[in-house]
Amino acid sequence: MRIAYRWFDVYQNYEDIGKLDAPLIAKHRAFINASYKTYSEWIFDATFQWVGNKRIPYYATYSEDYFLAMAQITKNFADHWSIYLGCENLTNFTQDSPIISADKPFDEDFDASLVWGPIYGRMLYFGFRYNLK
């Protein structure tokens, strides 16, 4: 098991308004990862991540904080082969409307620079792995 916490005290000084948190950078993040391997070569892995809110530039607001969860199951065969199945963004959290005025790409309000969270929902994957020795 691994547990981590990160605190960033990152800010910018502005002449007209003073010191503000740096835009689009989470001040707080936390991470927990747990992995377990059985004697029969099954590996279970889960990761949970919390991302704190971020300052949205130009709007004097903050994003919401959010949780992400990822999991993977792997089965090893012989010495070289394995098969795995996993899922990213188990909570299916996505940022609402990440592109401002997306329906008007030539409008002066169009802005694709304010992505503060995941824009893809839950994703399943599977695969085979061959390890070279």
**The domain containing residue 81 runs over which residues?**
2-130
Name the pTM for this structure: 0.84
**Total of domains in the chain:** 1
Instruction: For residue 45, give both structure tokens.
Output: 């892995």
| pLDDT tens digit sequence for 15-64 | 888 899 999 999 999 999 999 999 999 999 999 999 999 999 888 899 99
Integer Cα distance of 128 and 84 in angstroms: 6
Integer Cα distance of 9 and 6 in angstroms: 10
Beta bridge partners of 127: 84
Integer Cα distance of 42 and 46 in angstroms: 13
Quick one: what percent of the chain has pLDDT higher than 70?
A: 100
pLDDT given for residue 60 in this prediction:
81
Instruction: For residue 125, give both structure tokens.
Output: 């994957």
Instruction: For residue 76, give both structure tokens.
Output: 């090893």
pLDDT given for residue 33 in this prediction:
98
Instruction: For residue 101, give both structure tokens.
Output: 């005025």
Quick one: what percent of the chain has pLDDT higher than 90?
A: 77
